[in-house]
Amino acid sequence: MASTQQSFLTGSLFIIIFISSSRCHAHAVPRVTFPLESPGRPFTVFTLPGVYNATTLLLSDDEETLFVGARDAVLSLNITNAGHLQLSKKIDWSPTNEELGACGMKGTPEMDCPNFVRVLQVLNSTHMFACGTFAFSPRCSFIDSEEFTLLVNPSGKPEEGRGRCPYNPYHKNTAITVGGELYTATVADYRGNRPVISRHLSEGDRVDMKLDDTPGWLEDPTFISSTYIPSEEKVYFFFSEMGREYDFVDKFTVSRIAQVCTSDVGGQRTLQRRWTTFAKAQLLCQAKGELPYNVLQDMTTLQSAEGASKEDTLFYGIFSSQWSVNSGRSAVCVFSLREVKTVFSGNYKVLNRDTLKWSRRTGEHEKIANPGECGLHNATDNVLRFVKENFLADKNVAPANQGLALVSPEQRYSNIAAQRVKGANGKEYTVLYLLTESGYLHKAVLLKDGAHIIEEIQVLKQPHQVKNLLLSASKGTVFVGSSEGVASVPVSSCSHYWSCAECVLARDPFCAWDFTQRVCAHVSSIKHQPVQDVDGGNALNVCKTFTTLLPRGRSLLPGTPSVQVPVFLKEVVRLHCPVSSRLASLHWERHRGELSPNIYIQEDGILSFLATPTTLGSYECQATENGFTQTLAVYEVRQKQDSTHQPSATPTTLSPENGRQATSPPTKPETTPGPKDEKPMTQKSTTSTATSTVIPSSVHVPEDGSTNMFQRESSTSYLKELVAVSVLLVICICALLMVAAYNLRKSYRSRTVPHLPSSHQDTEGGTEQEREALRENSPQPDKHHGQKSPNTPSNGVSNGSNGHLPNIPI
């Protein structure tokens, strides 16, 4: 009864939370977007003919070599040159035709039957270990590190892969080596219904370990990642599974962290060759008053800073939600090792083996031991039976900052990497690299006032279901593995920012402004006083000592000419503003006169208006970000000399790069700290290319006050057209009257003219026999002189069957 009341109260609490989920987050939006092959953010992609699905990535200890597990192959890539991948050696490792045929006989699609290498680990200085799906029959092998070749088992039999590697290439798994032993979390059967967490390759008096087969230890899990914490002598596993402790919700998914001690060798009688130190707890990624992000997608470990406590080790995870209210979103939560240790050292829930229901521990349940504590393999059978049924921690692991580190409203993240970066002021910042499901790489910096996404880079042409992300801090490179190959992306591209203002507004811990060289460069390369403000991005204060604060890609001379836009009167002019940042608000200003909403339409950085004598002149597009205002484009709209020419039906496109002709718009050498005297209309920024387009007057005009402007400007300007049309109408009427009079006069004359004999009439009036005789007696053309036959169509037009052109009535 108590359990039922508890479930009801818990379910009611979730319903209340669901109803009250009205609080909005300051969702992080990338400041700058770099499409594929953008010159502002170059990177390289390594591909090899015949090699696909390069999704298992591993760095050597010295980070000079990148090992890649692909489909039917294992690669060794030299990365001595940062950002450049060079093939060193390759191992071909594919099933035989007979094995592929047997895989197909099981009903497996042919494309899933090759050997997908899913485990690749360094065992010691001389050997590596690899496992692959191998036509749905997992197989492993040792690799000679020096020769980089597969080693044959002394028995001649292939190394068993079951329990170390999944059968299905789409099933997730994780593996890590500690002291030459392999710790894995995967499924041990063809259908993926037997999850196992095990240890292999044990030597000496140590034995291989795995979970007990008792129900409840794992509930349909999806394994994500694993990590080893030397100070704890524990391996931690991260996964998602069904939360059976919440029996009021059917198939409620929860995220877990589980632990095993590396010293565990199993019990003497109870739990022989089974984990005695296995324990798990829930990871709760949830903001106050909102539904949780409960499905774990990826997890990475960031070791504690130099000189800090090992308990400051952090775990950064990507979470999605099974709730429709958070559909399409991803959240990043960070957990500390200190909080994980506190939860595992606390109380544990009690599992009723008869009903398989969990309940809280009460006073009547005696606590015999501390589950998860190392050294329990020497405990008594009574203690081991206790830990066998008490392995789910009572409390949840809450985020280190008691909230969400980052929320993406537009993208779903799939992979994550993290590093600490020292800024120009000596302060350390945490930088996250997030790979989206759509193939974009986001770089974000975590600040006190929230996460700031510095940039997003498109690294994949198409979305891929299986991909991987690996960071090499020493090389300053992020590696992205997918079916397209291995992309090598530099962690920063400071040269993209061509002004002090944009270098500071980027808030990139890697980049700072070098006032001596007048360039944005890597912090480590600047010798004297690097200019940077990662925390505030206050370009107005930081860059105020410089005389020229110019936007990216503009001339350093203050007198740069504006873009000339020649137009005809009564044409609709559309001026496009270039976008330097998605976080900036765009607004237009006119040198002389106000931008009345009855005359001008501003939308998404585009200014539209009707060309009249009063609207000709100079226009500026300005962007304001963090209180700093800069001019992005200047257009000079003027009337064309030939005023009688009508507007062209084809839009004329001008831009700051190619506009009349190839002249860049001027930029203000001075800065403006705030809004002008005239209140500008703030517009949402876009990512489109900056263009200035003159379009015909048939453009759609919103049905608001601006329509009156178009009507007023057009009502007094059609007098000439009206006169011209009237004159043409009179001329046409006169011509018709003259033709009618001529035909009438001809008909009267025909009555008094004598008729000629039929033989002298035109051939069209003769009989069929006469016409046929004329055809037979007419001279034939000389083909040698290139003359055409009467039946040969000319100018590509075919004759009809009745002698007339087709589709023309007789």
DSSP 365-409: S---S-TT-TTGGGS-HHHHHHHHH--BBSS-B--TTSS-SEEES
Residue the block writes with tokens 């400041």: 31
- Looking at residue 680, its pLDDT comes to 36
The CATH code that applies to domain 171-409 is 2.130.10.10
- Looking at residue 562, its pLDDT comes to 81
- Looking at residue 660, its pLDDT comes to 34
- Dump pLDDT digits (tens) for 552-571: 433 333 334 589 999 999 99
- Looking at residue 17, its pLDDT comes to 39
Burial state string for 257-291 with b = 16 or more CB within 10 A and e = fewer than 16: bbbbbbebbbbeebbeebbbbbbbbbbbbbbeebb
Judge whether residue 749 has pLDDT over 80. no
The rounded distance, in Å, linking the Cα atoms of 456 and 30 is 6
Three-state secondary structure of 403-429: CCCEEECCCCEEEEEEEEEECCCCCEE
- Looking at residue 778, its pLDDT comes to 39
Rg, Å, the chain Cα set: 39
Within the chain, what is the greatest distance between any pair of CA atoms? Answer: 140
Burial state string for 427-453 with b = 16 or more CB within 10 A and e = fewer than 16: eebbbbbbbbbebbbbbbbbeeebbbb
Least confident residue range of 44-58, 195-209, 738-752: 738-752
The rounded distance, in Å, linking the Cα atoms of 194 and 109 is 22
* Predicted confidence band of residue 711 (pLDDT cuts 50, 70, 90): very low
* Residue-averaged pLDDT of the chain: 80
- Cα within 13 Å of Cα(573), Cβ side: 28
- Looking at residue 698, its pLDDT comes to 31
Judge whether residue 447 has pLDDT over 60. yes
* Predicted confidence band of residue 689 (pLDDT cuts 50, 70, 90): very low
Query: Which is more confident, 775 or 343?
Result: 343
Mean pLDDT of the 437-450 span: 95
Judge whether residue 370 has pLDDT over 80. yes
The CATH code that applies to domain 563-715 is 2.60.40.10
Question: Which SS3 state, helix, strand or coil, does residue 480 take?
Answer: strand
Mean pLDDT of the 189-207 span: 92
As given in the structure block, the two tokens for residue 19 are 């109803």
**What percentage of the chain reaches a pLDDT higher than 70?**
76
Judge whether residue 350 has pLDDT over 80. yes
**Which residues face 66 on adjacent strands?**
59, 77
- Dump pLDDT digits (tens) for 637-646: 999 876 555 5
Judge whether residue 372 has pLDDT over 80. yes
Q: How many residues does the chain have?
A: 810
Judge whether residue 8 has pLDDT over 50. no
Mean pLDDT of the 116-125 span: 96
- Looking at residue 185, its pLDDT comes to 97
Mean pLDDT of the 8-30 span: 48
* Predicted confidence band of residue 16 (pLDDT cuts 50, 70, 90): very low
Judge whether residue 127 has pLDDT over 90. yes
- Dump pLDDT digits (tens) for 224-279: 999 999 999 999 999 999 998 887 777 899 999 999 999 999 998 899 999 999 99
- Looking at residue 634, its pLDDT comes to 92
Mean pLDDT of the 433-456 span: 95
Domain assignments of the chain as residue spans, ordered by start: 171-409, 563-715
Question: Which SS3 state, helix, strand or coil, does residue 764 take?
Answer: helix
* Predicted confidence band of residue 747 (pLDDT cuts 50, 70, 90): low
Least confident residue range of 239-248, 477-486, 773-782: 773-782
* Predicted confidence band of residue 306 (pLDDT cuts 50, 70, 90): confident
Query: Which is more confident, 747 or 183?
Result: 183
- The DSSP call for residue 728 is H
As given in the structure block, the two tokens for residue 636 are 């000079």
**CA of 601: how far to CAs of 63, 87, 502, 678, 703, in Å?**
56, 56, 28, 16, 11
- Looking at residue 723, its pLDDT comes to 76
- Looking at residue 277, its pLDDT comes to 95
* Predicted confidence band of residue 4 (pLDDT cuts 50, 70, 90): very low
**What percentage of the chain reaches a pLDDT higher than 90?**
55
DSSP 649-716: SSPEEE-TTTSTTT-PPP--SS-B-S--SS----B----SPP-EEEE-TTS---SSTHHHHHHHHHHT
- Looking at residue 728, its pLDDT comes to 86
- Looking at residue 186, its pLDDT comes to 97
Judge whether residue 770 has pLDDT over 70. no
Least confident residue range of 120-124, 234-238, 321-325: 321-325
- Looking at residue 801, its pLDDT comes to 36
- Looking at residue 276, its pLDDT comes to 94
Query: Which is more confident, 748 or 108?
Result: 108
Amino acid symbol at 704: D
Contact criterion met (CB below 8 Å) for 293 and 21: no
Judge whether residue 671 has pLDDT over 50. no
Query: Which is more confident, 130 or 556?
Result: 130
Mean pLDDT of the 168-187 span: 96
Query: Which is more confident, 771 or 584?
Result: 584
* Predicted confidence band of residue 180 (pLDDT cuts 50, 70, 90): very high
